[in-house]
Chains A and B, each alone.
Chain A
């Protein structure tokens, strides 16, 4: 106890920064800060302002450069580019074409279970910069297949199994996205240490594979443990309406072509790794889709979602302020103290990697960006302790990133889970626990993949 007080007294400003940061996060989650009055992003901006005033009072004013230098433009511009691609794909009918392909797939030997396995993993296959893009675009397909399965197997819970499997997959899919995903920030940080094999896209596959298992575990836990029963009449009505739309709607060949061009481009970026910024490739891709699919500028703008952009910026800004006033030094000292308890470094690492899902924010980028420098420093401290190799840094980062990316699924503050709950007519927040179980397992799997196989 005296040691903790000593750590706090050594840097009271940094300690206050940590206290305010976690205080705002917890107060938002508990509903003490009403989100319709002050969303968590705005609350964090105000906290930064408060910290800047406190820093002046403590005689250590924050240099504005310290905050701005922490705003990494690359993931932000890639994220905006990704949204433009998503807008173009949506307007060109590429997502509708994907649903149509799935419908045809269900009539092959893959049948319904095979089609559902592909459908629920569609968000990670597409890997858009925000899970909300595909959650909104493909939720009708998830409801349709859930409804068909529930009817055929006479078990209404199957609609929840399919929808929430799809939802948790969508939530986590912004982690491995090459279009400005959360993983890019971690890859950049770990890459700066010149660790062999770490670079753009090096965390991507480990995250995607972990997400596949997060999805499976979430579906299993809903089916056997949490038993979330949907409002049957609502699912029936929505499923039938979607079936009618599918039958009536004709999908133009350009929609399939847009989908094909998108897949080929993303595959080429990863396989060939051209020496061109991803943003340039995305802009060219947008132009190609616009020409093929007769897409307007308004369609592109309509695809931009401000929520994750603001979340990312507020995360970067609060992280810059916390770095500047020494909060991360306090955090590392506290974690080093904790590491001396029976928890050890491994226990501390497990705890820190799971913080985003313990405190689930409406966008994983909030805690992701705000705490990533702390996680990075913890990794360096662990590597320097002599017990661990340098590989502990990417292991810790990838676990934290996948956990942060997926954490918007179970968030009660307007997380992606709410889309599924609303569509199934279940109680709000009911899908949080099974998603958290899946994410916890997936966090461990991602660490295991990087630890055993290296960046694949």
Chain B
């Protein structure tokens, strides 16, 4: 259980950071919903797969 919590928390946090980085590098506002959601999806997919 603790393992899954750590894994998903880390993956989602990394996803949010990734989303912010993608937003900024593409010239969008850092908090743009799309980039951050995309990053979270990537984090979740990586954690699940």
Contacts and interface: CB of A to CB of B under 8 A. Distances in A.
Interface of A: 109-118, 120-121, 124-125, 127, 149, 153, 155, 158, 161-162, 165, 205, 208-209, 212-213, 215-217, 219-220, 222-224, 263, 266-267, 270, 449, 453-454, 456
B46 A212 contact: yes
Contact of B35 (A113, A127, A165, A449): A113
A195 B6 CA distance: 19
Contact of B32 (A113, A161, A215): A113
B11 A209 contact: yes
A260 to B, nearest CB: 12
A216 B34 contact: no
B25 A219 contact: yes
Nearest to A146: B26
A454 B10 CA distance: 12
6 contacts: A110-B34, A149-B26, A158-B26, A205-B7, A215-B18, A222-B25
B27 A153 contact: yes
Residue from the set A114, A117, A209 with the largest chain B CB neighbour count within 10 Å: A117
Contacts of A205: 7, 10-11, 46-47
Contacts of B33: 109, 111, 114
Contacts of A153: 26-27
A223 B14 contact: no
Nearest to B45: A125
Given A114-B19, A205-B46, A453-B10, 5 more contacts: A117-B35, A165-B25, A208-B46, A220-B25, A267-B49
Interface string B1-36: 001001100110011011111111111100011111
A155 B26 CA distance: 9
B47 to A, nearest CB: 7
Given A113-B34, A116-B38, A117-B42, A220 B49 contact: no
A385 B34 CA distance: 49
Contacts of B18: 117, 121, 212-213, 215-216
Given A205-B46, A205-B47, A212-B14, A114 B34 contact: yes
B42 A212 contact: yes
B6 to A, nearest CB: 5
Contacts of A158: 26-27
A267 B10 contact: no
B42 A121 contact: yes
Nearest to A111: B34
A216 B3 contact: no
